[in-house]
Amino acid sequence: MRLCKCDAWNEQRFSLSEAASLRRLSFNPRKDRPMALEITLQTPSTIPLEVDAIGFEAVRGQSPDDVKRTLVQRGNKQTPLGEFFDVQGSADDDEIVWSGDCANVKRIGTRLAFGRMRVEGNTGMHLGAEMTGGEIVVEGNAGDWAGAQMRGGSIRIRGNAGHLAGAAYRGGRKGMSGGEIIIDGEAGNEIGNSMRRGTIAIGGRAGDFLGVGMIAGSIFVFGEAGIRQGAGMKRGTIGLFGGERPPEMLPTFKAAGVFQPTWLRVYLRELRARGFAVPGELLEATYRRYSGDFLELGKGEILVPVAA
C-alpha cells in the first residue's frame, strides 16, 4: 500500500516541545494540595444559579463569610451565594473546589484566566466559557457549552459533556481559539462548532455535526461519531478512531490517500501519559485521509484508521 506524505503544516502543529508542554498540564489530583476555597452545595435550587461572579480576582483575600455574601444570579434576581452554599478555606493559593451536585449551577470557571478549579460532581452549562488560562477538572458530567469560545487553558471532564463544547455562541464567528478540552466520556452535538484553534479529545461517542464550520484546530473521537461530521469545515483535523463500522463521509469530502502521521502518534502518547484511554493499535496505525469540505475552502481533513 502506497503512503502519501504528511503535510508539513500537520507535522509542525505538534512538535516535541509542544508535547512536553502538554505533559506539564497534568490533570491528576495533587497529593500535596495547598489550601483551597471549598464551596459546598447545601440547598439545591430548582432555578439555575449563575456563579460567574465567583472568580479568583473577586474572592482572593476574602474570608469565607465575605465569599458567602457575593451576589450570584438566580433566575431574574441576585442572591447571596451563602443562601445555597457553605464556604470554607481560602482562594489565596489559586484553587477553588466546588462540591455537591452542581448540575443546575451554570458558569463555573467562566472567563478563568489562571488558577485551578475542581468540581467534585456534575456541573451545569457554560463551564469554562471564554476562559483564557488556568485549569478546570470536573469529576462528573458537564452541561452544554463547556469551553465555549475559550482562548486558552485546559478543561478535563471525566464524565460526559453536553452539546456545543468548544463551540461559538449563536451569532459568534468563531468558537474556541486556544487551549484544550478532554472529555473521558461521551459528548453531544456540534462539538467544536466554528472552532479556530485548540484541541478536543472525546473518549466515547460524539453526536451529530462534529466540527461543523470548523476553521482550524483538532478534534479526536475515540468512540462512534454521529452524522455529517466536518460539514462546512475550512481547515483543521478531525480524527474518527472508534465505531464498529467506517463512518459515512459527506459527498463533499474526497479520499486523499493513506499515511502514518508522526505528529498524531506523539500527541496520542501524551494523552495516554495523562490517563486518557488510547488504544495501543492507534499509535502505529495507518490512517486514511479525507479532504474537504469542498463546499468551503476544502483544506480540512478527516482521519480514519485503516482496518488491519
**Pairing outcome for strands 37-41 and 105-106:** unpaired
Ordered per-residue pLDDT tens for the chain, 308 residues: 444 444 444 444 444 344 444 444 444 444 455 589 999 999 999 999 999 999 999 999 999 999 999 999 999 999 999 999 999 999 999 999 999 999 999 999 999 999 999 999 999 999 999 999 999 999 999 999 999 999 999 999 999 999 999 999 999 999 999 999 999 999 999 999 999 999 999 999 999 999 999 999 999 999 999 999 999 999 999 999 998 888 999 999 999 999 999 999 999 999 999 899 999 999 999 999 999 999 999 999 999 999 85
Residue 198, SS3 per DSSP:
strand
Domain annotation for the chain: domains and CATH numbers: 8-32+100-305 (2.160.20)
Kindly state the cell numbers that stand for 45.
435550587
β-sheet bridge partners, residue 250: none
CA distance linking residue 293 with residue 36, whole number of Å: 47
Sequence-ordered list of residues with C-beta below 8 angstroms from that of 257, at least 6 positions apart, any chain: 2, 3, 4, 288, 289
DSSP character string of 19-49:
HHHHHHS--SPPTT----EEEEE-S--SS-E
pLDDT at res. 170: 95
CA distance linking residue 285 with residue 308, whole number of Å: 9
pLDDT at res. 34: 59
CA atoms within 13 A on the CB side of 243: 21
Element holding 64 (H helix, E strand): helix 64-68
Write down the residue that cell numbers 502518547 correspond to: 269
In eight-state DSSP terms, residue 9 is: H
Q: Is the peptide bond before 208 cis (omega within 30 degrees of 0)?
A: no
Q: How many CB atoms lie within 10 A of CB 13?
A: 19
CB 201 within 8 A of CB 180: yes
